[in-house]
Chains A and B, each alone.
Chain A
């Protein structure tokens, strides 16, 4: 992919090198584990019920895959069409090759209107860009308005999940966080009940909406034929962010295009069902340009920042299929690794199976090698993905890149080389497997090996190994045994 010295190379900060350590912490965290258990069972069940009501769900997935593939094959044309429509509607389009450029553009747009306060609705792309610290450095106060994002912003955490950023927290943790953060607004009484917590966040955030000079949103979809952006939320906060402030900036990735409103309809049926088993999201809004003279209200300016940050490198590569992703989170919810360790262990804003493919593309395989490796390839993610992304294959392609570039750990690399060599020499293979069995029998006590040396020690950290009885199959077969 892009050479590291390229100043337009994709940028994203990750701490994925510490995956194993983070995972261990997550596994020891009793509170988190309790939440993960409910999350894993609940979300899977919701999705299953949701899709069982739509017999044509499989066909819809095929169509969605085909629409996205068509868009990706003609991405330049659709982006051009989209830009033309946005301009015709009175809006502006800005192109950002990477995170620095995107942040610089958004910072400039805010400076142009002298913004002191920005209110945001949930946007994973701005998390990817680390936009908030950038704006804060410029002296701008940034408020997240999605409840989950707001909570993790106060706690200075990274999102737990692309759809539910604060799903890992308990109401007690949220209560503590609010108690501490809201004192400055004169709210000195500690609130502990769920509804009261939501009410309090609503009161605090309402004021921020009124104050805000600029509203920043993401965009779930970009409609090429109309130049509209589509926002799907369950809290309605995106609509307030987009309409109350005088200036609306939408930030999203270049891959979010769909050709027509009719295509959009298909994705709007797939997304909430795959995410939460819902037939529709609570709020769906289309924004097409700034306030017109005849409109009673709405933003005066409408800017769209389209971010590449590694996406065009994926086009035409073995990772192109990943660009179909609609960020529904179904692959995370179904993933046995994600539901064991949670999102934070991945050290990237994109976690779970989609993050294991997406993160190395943005942060480089050297920094993110753990993520495509920490998978059993069980295939559940591919089974649930609404746009049929072959996630395990794509993770495997990252392992291939890693191997080609000699990043694979030396021991493993050497082991695979030796294995291939032995497997090419059947007599040696037979000997090695017979010997292997004998060594294990010698190491065993009452038939079980309790501790293995070196790399294999990972096995006996968690489990015993039953030593084989008798000779290898090929050995016994050669001696004439047949049943």
Chain B
């Protein structure tokens, strides 16, 4: 049986561990026994986007070594999976032997919902969610990895769930890593628009595929006193969202 290594990412590890356990549950449903290497740390995305190329390169090599024993690496985040899959190969010249291992890692790395549908062939999940749910397309998953239909296909199979069309679902929520602390006003305006669109759907909850966007959107909803819930798509698909 193919070996799957789950890379939980920093935000999930520290802020929302439930997403990691939901991912394990889904991988098991899909027929895989996934492992989490305990020495995983960061994929280096903050360094990459902060201009520290050398730092990002170091962490890429580190991750490549750590996940070398696995056939697949699955990540419950479009932006961390995108960093590995689409950006890592650019860190090294084609001729660079060091880069070989990193290119191999990139080729076997998948965002969770695309792994479940495109690789594992999953068409439905065993889960229940009562009520209307909107889905926001987190940017990196959408544009770097073409994650669009995969989560929707699976969400539609959740019993009791009514999937709402979110207007401007593809427009950024304003998280952007350091962006949201460096430019709080601009980021605040972007998330304000996102909330208005979410509220307009009258869904009782919104789901997405990136924990960064979740913290942003749920934090802004809480500040407003809204009771709309924010879930990671994995939590909904694993039946952990209430």
Q: Which residues of A does B touch, CB under 8 Å?
A: 19-20, 23-24, 27, 336-337, 340-341, 373-380, 382-383, 393, 396, 398-404, 408, 412, 416-417, 419-420, 422-424, 426, 429-430, 433, 436-437, 448, 455-459, 461-466, 468-474, 476-478, 481-483
Contacts and interface: CB of A to CB of B under 8 A. Distances in A.
Interface stretch (B16-24, B67-75, B111-119, B125-133): B16-24
Interface string B17-51: 11011001100100000001011111010111111
Nearest to B192: A462
B226 to A, nearest CB: 11
B17 A472 contact: yes
Contact of A336 (B13, B41, B190): B190
Residue among B13, B38, B44, B179 with the highest chain A CB neighbour number at 10 A: B13
Contact of A27 (B8, B36, B48, B185): B185
Contacts of B21: 473, 476, 481-483
A400 B49 CA distance: 8
A472 B188 contact: no
Contacts of A373: 179, 182-183
Given A416-B52, A429-B42, A465-B219, 11 more contacts: A19-B183, A336-B172, A340-B186, A340-B189, A404-B51, A420-B52, A420-B58, A424-B41, A430-B38, A463-B220, A473-B13
B10 interface: yes
B179 A463 contact: no
Contacts of A426: 38-41
Interface residues of B, number: 68
Nearest to B14: A433
Contacts of A476: 17, 21
Contact of A463 (B16, B24, B44, B223): B223
Interface of B: 8, 10, 12-18, 20-21, 24-25, 28, 36, 38-42, 44, 46-53, 55, 58-59, 62, 90, 139-140, 142-144, 170-172, 174-191, 193, 215-216, 218-220, 222-223
Nearest to A455: B181
A458 B59 contact: no
Nearest to A434: B14
Contacts of A466: 15, 215, 218-219, 222
B174 A336 contact: yes
Residue among B50, B191, B193 with the highest chain A CB neighbour number at 10 A: B50
B165 to A, nearest CB: 16
Residue among B38, B46, B51, B215 with the highest chain A CB neighbour number at 10 A: B51
Nearest to B175: A376
